[in-house]
Structure 1
Amino acid sequence: MTPFGEALRELRRQKGVSQQEMAVAIGVSAAYLSALEHGRRGRPSFDFLQRVCGYFNIIWDEAEELFRLAEGSDPKVTVDTAGLPPAYTALANLLARKIRHLEPDMVEELTKLLEKASNRG
């Protein structure tokens, strides 16, 4: 599951609607919603996000948060290290090999470290 998929499922739960009901209302298939929620589809389109926001009456900060979650929810990420020092490529490959085996606390720790580093630069 992706962060966006988790948020979408929670929105549906709060409103008490099924995937089928939501799919009909916003003009997509229930299979597509299921694939998004389970992380089997890439980042949703801007148009789709707009329809979701309209369906759930989401505005301003909540809509911005939903768009942010969608931006970070591509389940098949490509990391381009061309032109970077060898250590960067090694790190990207190590993470790709080990990510499925990381404990949740390690993921949280790495995320905080990377966010801290990105705020400095």
Structure 2
Amino acid sequence: MTPFGARLRALRAERGVTLKRLAEGLQVSAAYLSALEHGRRGAPSAGLVHQVNEFFGLIWDEADELARLARLSHPRVTVNTAGLTPEQTALANRLAQAIHRLTPEAVAALHAVLDSTAQQPKPRLRRPAHSAGRAARGV
């Protein structure tokens, strides 16, 4: 099951919506939605995510979260390690080989490591106050 599939199933359960009813509302097949929920189909399109948001009345943070989960829901991931170090390539391969054996705690720990190393946005360069004043005066 993918993160998007798990959230979609939870939304249906919370709101008492059957797979058939949701499929009719989104104008897709129930088989397609079932495949999405179970991770047998690729990540949903942005258009489908928007339709799901509208169907369930999700706005703001909930809608953003569903879109984020959709982006993380590719059931067959490919990692391009060309140009990376041998250690990074080995890590990608080890993860691919061992992921099915990881405990929920180990998965959470790996997420925490990745979250702590996420690149921070570059700070915007600000012009010193005295430079701004000069520019305004044409100096």
| Common topology (TM > 0.5) | yes
Partner of 2:77: 77
1:1-121 maps to which residues of 2 (within 5 A)? 1-119=1-119
| Offset of residue 119 of structure 1 | 4.5
**Partners of 1:110 and 1:58 in 2: how far apart?**
30
| Offset of residue 120 of structure 1 | 5.5
**Partners of 1:88 and 1:100 in 2: how far apart?**
20
**Partners of 1:74 and 1:94 in 2: how far apart?**
19
Unmatched tracts of structure 2, length 5 or more = 122-139
**Partners of 2:120 and 2:63 in 1: how far apart?**
27
Deviations 1:41-75 (CA, angstroms, capped at 9, x unpaired)? 11100110111011001111110010001111111
- The alignment-based identity, stated in percent, is 53
- By relative contact order (CA 8 Å, sep 6+), the higher-ranking structure is 1
**Partners of 2:15 and 2:87 in 1: how far apart?**
47
**Partners of 2:36 and 2:70 in 1: how far apart?**
10
SS of the counterpart of 2:117? Answer: helix
Unmatched tracts of structure 1, length 5 or more = none
| Structure 1 stretches of 4+ moved >2 Å | none
Aligned length: 121
Q: CA RMSD in A?
A: 1.2
